[in-house]
Chains A and B, each alone.
Chain A
Amino acid sequence: MAAVETRQKRLLAVIALPMALLALSAVYPVFFTINAALKTRKGFVLDRFGLATDATFANFGQAWNQSRLSEYFTNSVVVTIGAVLALLLISSFAGYALAILRFRGSKIVFAIILVSLMIPVQVVLVPFYRTMIALDLINSRAGLVIAYTAFFLPFSVYLMTAFYARLPRELFEAAQIDGAGLVQIWWHIMLPMGKPALLTLGILNTLYCWNDVLISLLVLQDKRTLMVGIAALRGEYTTNVPLLAAGIVLAAAPIVLIYIVFQRQIVSGIAVGAVKG
């Protein structure tokens, strides 16, 4: 038995090698981006892969000013936080209702959510824009929060439903026998139990909202978000890669920082939620 265990350990160690290579390939773009951001455009054209020898920080300054990042930063933060919170709350409600409560018609509701997951964004652009105008949501951050919530909701509801459906039903039934109300069960059982899925959704939705360009372009035309500012750094013909790289480093830095700082909480959060069964 011990032999089996050591053999497994050895096997895992061997597997770790290709995994480390893959990890290296995943880190490379980060290195490349930072390195490119430190070059001048001319320096980059002449030598694309070499180390930036005369490191310049001018690109960061230019990206900051040209894409008016300071102005757009707040918009991105406010909208992302608002939308992610709304998404988590609404999808945890809906997941609970669809997977646990299972009212009459829940299958149809789930089907509608599924269908909406499959609608290509391009086809809804024009009617979506008209709806936003009709509801007077254009050019407001609240409008963008609503738009993001609506666009990323099907995915979130689907994940929460799949996750809650996985939980043993006895948990719910035991709580009911204990006399807990259905709202209490949501608050005391479903939310804590859903933590791994909610954390995952939190990460993914933060990324979606933070990185979105198209929806933001349509909804916020006066105030813009960070990624729109970055996207505009690409000209019609030229992509000034060092400038763009600097912009991307600036825009991705907050996300990466949050991820690194909260890495432990996220990890333990996912572990705590594990079902002790």
Chain B
Amino acid sequence: MALFVTVACALIGNYLVLRRISLVGDAISHSVLPGIAIAFIMTGSRTGTPMFIGALVAGVAATVFIEILHSRSRLKQDAAIGITFSTLFAIGVILISIHGAHTDLDLDCVLFGKMDFLPVKEPVFLGLPGVAVTMGALAFCVGLLIILFYKELLVSSFDPALAASMGIHPRLVHYLLMSVLSVVVVGAFTSVGAILVIAMLILPAATSCLLSERLWVMMLLSLLHAFLSSLAGVHLAVALQVPTAPACVVAGTGLFVIAWIASPRQGLISLWLRNPDPEGAMEA
């Protein structure tokens, strides 16, 4: 279960990091809250589909709002992100706390995920719980899309001008990527919670970015990171008796720190070996 979530996130996270829009992932993960709340209030059910749709709509709306604020006023992108996600999140919290009295929609679970206490009564498929199947399918689809459109994603991330001059529309690619991101975030959201999704998105990519110099190597490494961190995370969670999601993130952070210190080319150690003067290393 943890593995599927991290794999799907890791794959798409690579592009977020490379396009320097990592925090849009954070924004989306917070923004889906009102979507979930409204879907719940309207249908009164806690089953997957309406919630999923509500979250998806809210997530895509968030990217559109960010885009509008950023391109049609003098605000920079970071401020646009901050305003959008905090507003949507606030709306979500208010809606939930107003209706919270008569519901079992728990803020804790929305925020921190419930990977460890999966509902047992959910439909089971091939011995796996339904959520895990969904996430697995999602991870598979994301992987397939990336393999199919590797070329287009690469060129439009690296050099949007060139992509446009070849007839690949960078804006179209951007919005497609954002929609896929929303789907993944919404999928991961139920198990990881709003705040920690960002870690699942960025940590693998950032770690492998320190270790590799080719995009496809980076992709594979981020998968490895996703795999290791979820494995270590689950064990850590059991050992320390803490929730699984934060434990996975802590494990992932550990891997990142190791890469940061010991990466053969860009690690702190090699930086220091090449240039023992700390000030000089800083400037370089």
A and B assemble together: no
Residue numbers of B with Cβ under 8 A of A are none
